[in-house]
Amino acid sequence: MHLKGNNMIVPVIMAGGSGSRLWPLSRDLMPKQFLKIDGEHTMMQETIIRLNQLETSTPLIICNEEHRFIAAEQLLQINELDQNIILEPEGRNTAPAVAIAAFSKIKDGADPILLVLAADHVIVDTPAFLDSIEKAAGQAQKGKLVTFGIQPTSAETGYGYIKRGDNIDGAYQVDAFFEKPDAETAKKYIASGDFYWNSGMFMFKASRYLEELKNHRPDIYEACERAMSLTDRDMDFIRIRADDFLQCPSDSVDYAVMEKTSEAMVVPMDAGWNDIGSWSSLWDIKSKDEKRNVIAGDVIHVDSVGNFVHAENSLIALVGVSNLVVIQTKDAVLVASKNDVQNVKLIVNRLKDLKRPEHKIHRKVYRPWGNYESIDEGARYQVKRITVKSNERLSVQKHHHRAEHWVVVSGTAIVTIDENERLLTENQSVYIPVGAVHALENPGKIPLELIEVQSGAYLEEDDIVRFSDRYGRA
């Protein structure tokens, strides 16, 4: 499938957000779009892969600073990394994010059709999805601003709705947008046959979006124009002017443009779409056993029906329970009624108020050079398992409050301590005193695995003074 004419399609993948309703799997530093929720690839990767049958240019990824290396690594895994990650200094909702994507292409002298997709949606029927995109592309070529309306399967109160107007070549003029309704109103919408769920996916020419944005929200347009007036390419990342972008108002594409323009069209889509907004919506799409349970991991259940159970690293046993969500990770367990999972975000808010780390990070934390996992801690000590990828290197650094012991479990390490370099192999160890300037590198072909024992009065991650760093963190 390809687009006729001169307007190439550029996928714009919105990869921000924290996915708090899928806690404890989704965390601030590893939100749901970067997790393998429904397949062998992460949700962001699936979003890009399902476009393979469509002739498009390299996708643009919009994400924040904290997720940049995760996004880059996942793009690299599917051969889609090509200096195509735009970093937002801070989230400002979708209207500014799409604006900076549009400005980036206009700045390059192009005027492509932007296909704006969220990185955390599930699509079951890819051919139907691509068919809707082809219909929308024809409208976008004519200068229309297209949104995709999901064919509703129930009177859902968790989605906004779009009412369709006149049919024009397989698409419909947008009659009106409606907020999330109550149950009775939703039933009326469904009964009329003229309403779709609002998917939050869009398609339009870059120039047309900017024209409508300038007309209806000149404050957003001008702030984004200033932010994109000077960009900086940092490895695979595009950095924009932070001060100007932070002055930009926060608003969605729907509110800023689509509800105001007279050129809005809606293309119906019936492709098994799900925005995975909660554990119950994930239960809806997963395969189930004979008792309608969705099971992942080491789980035993007796007389239990309709549950969603995820065991990460230990046995979960259920007896005589129904309609529950039970999610176990290495540092947290969630037990909730499937009917109340929208309120999981209240737990996340409580964790933030208590300044607990469980809302932000997992025990395993990903870094551009690999990852580390906390495996034990106590007063004045902490033990971590560290994995360094082939040919990667940690920053040259020192600590004011802790000493470290490193024991190589597998692979080869080059360790530098106060400019003295030594090679360590399996079962060898080294001691790094408090205040010593040190670095760790994996020169080998296989991952370097080591155990780190920290000891000292203060063991938090902010006790790091970086002197040089290949990832721009010094």
CATH number at residue 463: 2.60.120.10
Residues 111-126, buried b or exposed e (16+ Cβ, 10 A)? bbbbbbbbbbbbbeeb
- At 136, the amino acid letter reads A
10-residue mean pLDDT profile of the chain (474 residues): values are: 61 92 95 90 96 94 93 94 94 96 92 96 95 96 97 92 93 95 94 95 98 97 96 90 95 96 96 92 93 97 98 97 97 96 95 95 90 93 96 96 97 96 97 97 97 96 90 76
Pair 341, 391 in one domain: no
In a domain, 208, yes or no: yes
Q: What is the span of the domain harbouring residue 38?
A: 9-274
Q: Which two tokens stand for residue 129?
A: 């999805």
Q: Are residues 385 and 340 in the same domain?
A: no
**Per-residue model confidence (pLDDT) at position 5:** 40
Amino acid identity for residue 63 in this structure: C
Cβ contact 43:33 at 8 Å: yes
pLDDT at 59: 97
**Are 263 and 291 in the same domain?**
no
Same domain, 210 and 267: yes
Q: Is residue 474 part of a domain?
A: no
Same-domain pairing of 326 and 400:
no
Angle between helices 94-107 and 218-227 (to 10 degrees): 50
Asked which of 350, 379, 410 is the last residue of a domain, the reply is 350
Which DSSP letter does residue 262 get? S
Residues in the chain: 474
Global confidence as pTM: 0.90
In this structure, the number of other CB atoms found within 10 A of the CB of residue 159 comes to 20
Asked whether residue 32 is assigned to any structural domain, the reply reads yes
Question: Structure tokens of 459?
Answer: 């063991």
What is the domain-level CATH number for residue 270? 3.90.550.10
Max Cα-Cα span within the chain: 76
Q: Are 199 and 108 contained in the same domain? A: yes
Taking residue 362's Cβ as centre, other Cβ atoms within 10 Å add up to 22
Predicted local distance difference test score (pLDDT) of residue 7: 64
Same domain assignment for residues 380 and 314: no
State the total domains in the chain: 3
Q: Are residues 58 and 199 in the same domain?
A: yes
Strands 232-234, 195-205: pairing is unpaired
Rounded CA separation 283/309 (Å): 10
- 100/193 same-domain check: yes
- Same domain for 218 and 255? yes
How confident is the model at residue 4, as a pLDDT? 39
